[in-house]
Every structure is written in C-alpha cells, then in structure tokens.
Amino acid sequence: MEDPQVAAVERAMVAIRRSQTRRALQRLAGDVELDPALFGVIDAVEEGAEAATVTSVAGRMGVDQPRASRLVARAVEAGLLRRVADPADGRRSTLELTELGAGHAERVHRFRREVFDAAMRGWSEHERREFARLLTAFVAELGGRHREGGRVEHPLPPDVPASRSNRGPDSSGLDQAEPVTETNPEPGR
C-alpha cells in the first residue's frame, strides 16, 4: 500500500525541482546577469571543506569530468573563477572565486534567500526553524549531498547525526530547531 505522505513528498520534490531549474531562477532573478549554466559551478566551488578542483566540481554537480571541465573553463573565461597552483602538488590546480565571482555568488545567494523567504512569509519562526531542520535532515538522509571519496558530505556537523539533531547550526547557516513536545510547544521562548 502506498504511503500518502511519501507520495506527497514526491510531488513536492518534483515541483521544487521544476521551480528551481537554472532557467526558472534566471527568469526570476532578472537583474542578476549570470549565465545560468554557471550557477552550479559557483555553488560547487563554494561547497565542501577542501579546495575545489575540476574533479570535485564534477562530483558536486553530478556531471562527468569533461562537462565540468568545459563549465569551469567558461567560468574562468568569464572572470568568475581562477585556477591556482596547488602548493602541495604542482601538477594539480585548485579553483577559487575571483572578486567578480564572489560578487555574483553573493547576489545569487541573496536572491535565492529572498525567494525562499517570500515562500515562507506567512510562517511562524518555529515553523521556519522546523522546516529548515526537517528539510536539511531529509536531504542528508536522501544522500542529496554528492559523494566524494565514498563519504557523504552532510550539511550538519559531524558530531550530530542528521536524523537525530535538535540544535546547532549546519553548514548552510540554518539553525536546527528543538523538537516540539508537550512541555516545549515553542522553541526559543
């Protein structure tokens, strides 16, 4: 028998995927002038604790290495990224955002957050915290973070299990809400 909650989550995830395509975001962004294909490259370079390489960008974006290499080359050509020689391995280069790339990244982050804020405008602070906590845990459990080196990069601190966390900031800057109980109806009060 099909679980109606799981079916509802599936429909919601499909709707999110459609609304978050690069083209849809670009149409909404209007004044943020950035090739939509390069949104993902900037995100991939910013993601992760280690320095970004073409290989890590490919893994983070879920594309093959030749596609990542072409996208990185376009981002370098556009002045958004620069290649830097790895001091530990002269054969390898790492990628970092240029000042222009960092500025674009900040505008894109601000825009996305404005879109998400508008979608949750009528929600209470508790609902927003709980949604952030549950969505972050869901993505971590789903394996939505791309695997690198056989390890899943969770958006939560390593000492806090994603499905059991109830407090502490994650790497996206969202605070984890306390669970709601009969004795704790509104966290933070």
Instruction: Scan for tokens 């909404």, then name that residue.
Output: 28
* Domain-wise residue ranges, the chain: 1-119, 124-189
**pLDDT value, residue 89:** 82
Cα(136)–Cα(152) distance, integer angstroms: 14
164-183 pLDDT tens trace: 333 333 333 333 333 333 33
Question: With pLDDT > 70 as the criterion, what percentage of the chain qualifies?
Answer: 67
**pLDDT value, residue 170:** 35
Range 1-119 classified under CATH 1.20.1290.10: no
Token representation of residue 151: 């390890």
Counting every residue written for the chain, the total comes to 189
123-167 pLDDT tens trace: 999 999 999 999 989 888 876 544 444 444 444 444 434 433 333
Question: With pLDDT > 90 as the criterion, what percentage of the chain qualifies?
Answer: 34
Instruction: Scan for tokens 């004044």, then name that residue.
Output: 31
Return the bridge partners of 148, or none.
151
15-29 pLDDT tens trace: 887 777 656 666 655
CB 51 within 8 A of CB 92: no
Q: 152 — phi, psi (to 5°)?
A: -85, 130
